[in-house]
Each structure stands twice: as C-alpha cells, then as structure tokens.
C-alpha cells in the first residue's frame, strides 16, 4: 500500500488544531486557496485566497468533515453559506498568537502538487489589512538561557532518547 491509498491526515489535523484553539480561548482562522470548487463570497478573496474566522461566535452550523468544511457566516452583515473542500485549506492558525499549521496545496485527488509553495495569506476582512505571517510552533530558547541549566541525565544503557524528525 502506498501513501496515496491512505486517507488524508489534513481533516484530522485541522479538527485537532481547531479544538486546541477553542479550548485555549483563541480564535481559529482558516486560510483557503480559492477556486471554482470553493463557495465563499468572492468580494473577500484577495490574491486567490481568503482567510476565514471559524470560531463559534463567527459561524453557525460549523461542520468539519473529512471532505468539506461547511458553515454559515456573515460578510458585511449579509448571511452566506460557505463550503470549502478540505484539500483547498492551506493553513489553520490562532489569530492571537499566529500558532498553527500550514499544508501543501493538493490537487483534486488529495496528492500534494510538486513544487507547490505556500503563499502569504491576506486577511479577508478588507484590503487595508496587512498580510498575516504564520509563525512556527517551535520556540527556540533565549540565547544563553540553557548555559546555566543542568542537562537531564542520559538514560542508562548508552541509548539516545527518541526524537521526532520534521519532514518537509
């Protein structure tokens, strides 16, 4: 079985980060690459993307499914039904601190496009807003902060501690 035979992890990661945002009092935002399959108000699309506030307060009937994200929201006071295919979501992040996750743009079948890069997202609340910069969830220690701290003892048996490796 190859990687294309498995369902995408994207909907599961989006739901997990959505839950993390709401549990911690943050406002979850989705960055969506808009095409003809995305049903959003086109007046709020900027450079082929839209940023959507998907908090409980901003949406009604939010459903984070495996294939689509569906909800109702108001744009300029006008109610709209929104439908976003899961493969068009390119990031989810917390508005307050920018922490979240970006995803590679996928084609219709769910495969990542070769050489796809993630563009900078622009907030959909108006063209006067500056672009949003996503921040890494990794926080490096301040310079010199760990010089004075004792390091934990190495496990017996000479083995190293397991570590996660980021794969891009």
Q: Count the helices and strands in the chain (H runs, E runs).
A: 1, 9
Residues in the chain: 168
Assess contact for 87 and 10: CB atoms under 8 A: yes
Q: Does domain 3-105+120-132 have CATH number 1.10.1040.10?
A: no
Domain layout of the chain by residue ranges: 3-105+120-132
pTM value?
A: 0.64
Cα–Cα distance for residue pair 156/8, rounded to 1 Å: 39
pLDDT at 1: 54
Per-residue pLDDT of the chain in tens (168 residues, 90 and over written 9): 565 667 889 999 999 999 999 999 999 999 999 999 999 999 999 999 999 999 999 999 999 999 999 999 999 989 999 999 999 999 999 999 999 999 987 665 545 554 444 334 433 333 334 445 554 445 444 455 455 555 555 545 555 556 656 666
pLDDT at 168: 60
Tokens for 35, please give them: 């095409």
């Amino acid at each position: 079985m190859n990687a294309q035979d498995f369902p995408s992890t994207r909907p599961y990661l989006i739901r997990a980060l959505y839950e993390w945002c709401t549990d911690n009092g943050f406002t979850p935002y989705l960055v969506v690459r808009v095409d003809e399959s995305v049903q959003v108000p086109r007046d709020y699309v900027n450079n082929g993307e839209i940023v959507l506030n998907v908090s409980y307060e901003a949406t009604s009937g939010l459903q984070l499914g495996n294939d689509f994200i569906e909800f109702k929201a108001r744009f300029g006071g006008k109610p709209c039904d929104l439908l976003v295919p899961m493969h068009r979501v390119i990031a989810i992040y917390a508005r307050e601190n920018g922490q979240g996750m970006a995803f590679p743009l996928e084609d219709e079948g769910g495969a990542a496009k070769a050489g796809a890069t993630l563009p900078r997202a622009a907030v959909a609340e108006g063209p006067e807003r500056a672009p949003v910069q996503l921040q890494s969830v990794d926080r490096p220690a301040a310079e010199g902060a760990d010089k004075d701290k004792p390091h934990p003892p190495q496990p017996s048996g000479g083995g190293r501690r397991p570590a996660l490796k980021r794969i891009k």
